[in-house]
Every structure is written in C-alpha cells, then in structure tokens.
Copies of this chain bind each other. A is one copy, B any other.
Amino acid sequence: MQLYSFFNSSTSYRVRIALALKGLTAQYHGINLRQGEQRSEAHRALSPIGGVPVLIDAQGNTMTQSLAIIDYLEQLHPHPRLLPQDPLQRARVLEIANLIACDVHPLNNLRTLCYLNETFEISAEQQGAWYAHWIREGLGAVEVLLQRCGSGRFCVGEEPTLADCCLVPQVANARRMNCDLSAYPRLWQVYLHCLEHPAFRAAAPERQPDVL
C-alpha cells in the first residue's frame, strides 16, 4: 500500500494511527501542504479535492477521505477492530469520530484558514478567535459524549477505536494552536493514555519522514 500524507495533517494522522493499530505498513509519500503540493495536477489526479490522505491499496485502487480509508482497512483487516461489534458501542465511536471530522476539523483546516486570510483578510487575532471557537464548541461536546461513555482508558472502552484515531490528532492540533483544554478533563485523560500506546507514538507527526 501507499499513503500520501503530510506530517502535520490531522486527517493523515488518523489514517497513520489506524494503520499502526492494525500492524499494517504503507509506503510514505510526503505531500507538503505548506508549499501547495496538494493542488498540483499530479496530486489532483489522486485526490480530486486536492487533499491528504490518499491511500493506494495493494491492487492499485486509489481512495481519499480518512474515515472512508479507515473503514476500508477495517473491512480488509478486521482485527484488531477499530469499530466495536455491539451496535450501540459502535454508534458511540462513530458519533465521536464524526463530531470531530464534521463539526471541528473542517472549520480549522488549512484551506479554510487560507480562504479567511486571503479573501476576507481577517487579522491574526480574528483567526485565533475563530480557531478557538470551533475547538471550544467541538471539544466541549466531545467531552460530554466521552463522559457518557463511561470511564474506560480509551474513548469508548478499554481498547483503541476510530474515536481515538480522530481524537488524538484533533487534540494535537488544538495544543499546537495553544487552545485552553482545561475544561475537558476526560478528553485529556484519554489523550494522554493514547500517547503511551506504541501505535499512536509511531503515527505522531514528529516521527514522519516529511517532518519539517
């Protein structure tokens, strides 16, 4: 398999965690988002929207969208499971993963911030407030969901799931942007626990070949 990724892209980071949890490897291709490599014609042939991650499977099938890629890995390599078998537990995992993937990340990703800066010409202060607003709204809701999920060491239970694959990169982003996370004690506890896990360590931005 081949993975097109950027070390600091949180959607790439999700897939890297999932691969590591399943013990899978993929040849790494760094796509430098800061230099706009994702918008090249060559990359758009892989990802029509011009993004990372992109996975090319062993048969040469290309696919985009981190949650679709992780679901595909789950179909082909079901163990260890990243989605619980119990339908309600599974829904809890997907609820947290989708809250992060739909209600937090898209608002604060690079292409959105670029539009705000270049077209609306917002100030650095306005950008910081925008970023912190969506982190506060989103992680506040994640905290409530996590508290409802009990007191396992991971988001939902005692084993890492897709929810943790999404949580850790989002918290890493929030930390990088100096967001205050003190209002989310359960989230913070899960995050720290994940960081001790070898798969989460292997997938971390600073361990990637394209780290800047």
Contacts and interface: CB of A to CB of B under 8 A. Distances in A.
State the main secondary structure of chain A at its contact with B. Answer: helix
A65 B102 contact: yes
B103 A51 contact: yes
A133 interface: yes
A167 interface: no
Nearest to A94: B68
How many copies the complex holds: the figure is 2
A47, A71, A116 — most chain B CB neighbours (10 Å): A71
A140 interface: yes
Nearest to A121: B120
Interface in A115-138: 115-116, 119-120, 122, 126, 129-130, 133, 137-138
A6 to B, nearest CB: 16
Nearest to A11: B102
B95 A102 contact: no
B95 A65 contact: yes
Interface of A: 47-49, 51, 61, 63-69, 71-72, 75-76, 87-88, 90-92, 94-95, 97-99, 101-103, 105-107, 112, 115-116, 119-120, 122, 126, 129-130, 133, 137-138, 140-141, 144-145
Contacts of A144: 48
Contact of A98 (B67, B99, B120, B126): B67
